Amino acid sequence: MEKAKDSRQYYSKITTHVLQEMKLRGEKIAMLTAYDFSMAKILDDAGIDVILVGDSASNVMAGHKTTLPITLNEMIYHASSVQRAVTRALIVVDLPFGTYQGNSIEALQSAIRIMKEAGANAIKIEGGEEVIGSVKRILSAGIPVMGHLGLTPQAIHKFGTYVVRATEKEEADKLIHDAHLLEEAGCFGIVLEKIPAELAARVTKAVKIPTIGIGAGHEVDGQVLVLHDMLGITTKFSPRFLRRYHNLSEEIKGSVTLYIDDVKSVNFPNDREQY
Ligand code: KIV
């Protein structure tokens, strides 16, 4: 049997069309968040397919409890820093809370600012039927849109908790309906967050566009994690779906402790480290 192509060897730039091809070929899509130049450069050099400048920057970069406070200007600052580092990955940027729910003109204006001022490749919006007017208006301007269903953190005050979504039939049926609406509108992909693996698998089979899961099992077209969580920079957040690939907070603390010790004991700088 012929070995499946690996996008890292075949594409010098990932586009929304490449993601569609990857779904058709059965190659999984790897997506991570980034919010700054240095991290984005490392991710791009490593061969990540998609970088999400997520509004999770509100939590991991700014220390807010939710994603609600981050502003459009702050998202543009993070996204433009990422854009300056990236040559290959597709850059998707979240439209922050309050910049697209009001009406579709406001949504389009927000999306245009992200594309123009940050140089993003696409935007992401949370929600289904309730935001479909905004999704269509943005798409009509030639801006690629990614949907986001299931646990949508901008609606945390409606949900009241971050528990797994769509475990009941009514919510699961609405999610499938929303996925079809997003696909018909022309979205190039959908993030499925914290929903039962069996439901995510059904959605993935039901739509032709790629699905990217976070806490949605493996029968989706790709995976996304928040970089600071998977590297162990954040330590308090540990949902079942999160795999930690590193314990970076301990490593950094160790290095900083050594540095402090060296400074205090005048072991740094030594003769070779001065002019
Ligand atoms: O903002 C974010 O990081 C996200 C991911 C959790 C998908 O939307």
Q: What is the pLDDT of residues 140-180, one digit of tens each?
A: 999 999 999 999 999 999 999 999 999 999 999 999 999 99
Asked if residue 5 has pLDDT above 80, the reply is no
At 253, the pLDDT band (50, 70, 90 cuts) reads very high
- Percentage above 90 pLDDT, the chain: 96
CA 2–ligand 1 middle distance (angstroms): 34
Residue 126 in contact with ligand 1 by CB distance below 6 A: no
Asked if residue 27 has pLDDT above 60, the reply is yes
For residue 54, the ligand 1 atom closest to its alpha carbon is 1
Q: Is the whole model's pTM more than 0.85, yes or no?
A: yes
pLDDT tens digits, 184-217:
999 999 999 999 999 999 999 999 999 999 999 9
Residue 120 in contact with ligand 1 by CB distance below 6 A: no
Residues 102-127, mean pLDDT to the nearest whole number: 98
Give how far the C-alpha of residue 92 lies from the chain's centroid of Cα atoms, to the nearest Å.
Answer: 7
Find the radius of gyration of the CA atoms of the chain.
20
For ligand 1, atom 1, the nearest C-alpha belongs to 54
Q: Write out the two tokens for 125.
A: 């919006």
For residue 226, the ligand 1 atom closest to its alpha carbon is 3
CA 226–ligand 1 middle distance (angstroms): 7
Residue 234 in contact with ligand 1 by CB distance below 6 A: no
What's residue 257's pLDDT?
98
For ligand 1, atom 5, the nearest C-alpha belongs to 54
Q: Write out the two tokens for 210.
A: 């790629």
Please identify every residue annotated as catalytic.
193
Q: For residues 270 and 257, what is the distance between their CA atoms, to the nearest angstrom?
A: 18
At 127, the pLDDT band (50, 70, 90 cuts) reads very high
What's residue 149's pLDDT?
98
For ligand 1, atom 2, the nearest C-alpha belongs to 54
For ligand 1, atom 8, the nearest C-alpha belongs to 54
What's residue 2's pLDDT?
56
Tell me which of 56, 78, 233 to substitute to probe ligand 1's pocket, judged by most ligand atoms within 8 Å of the beta carbon: 56
Asked if residue 48 has pLDDT above 70, the reply is yes
| Phi then psi dihedrals of residue 106, to 5 deg | -60, -40
CA 75–ligand 1 middle distance (angstroms): 13
CA 149–ligand 1 middle distance (angstroms): 11
Q: For residues 185 and 133, what is the distance between their CA atoms, to the nearest angstrom?
A: 9
Name, in order, each residue with C-beta under 8 angstroms of 150's C-beta and a sequence gap of 6 or more: 165, 166, 175, 191, 192, 193, 194, 195, 216
Give the CATH fold of the 7-244 domain.
TIM Barrel (3.20.20)
Residue 125 in contact with ligand 1 by CB distance below 6 A: no
Residue 144 in contact with ligand 1 by CB distance below 6 A: no
For residue 153, the ligand 1 atom closest to its alpha carbon is 8
Residue 56 in contact with ligand 1 by CB distance below 6 A: yes
Q: For residues 148 and 152, what is the distance between their CA atoms, to the nearest angstrom?
A: 7
Can you say whether the dihedral through the CA atoms of 87, 22, 194, 231 is positive or negative? negative
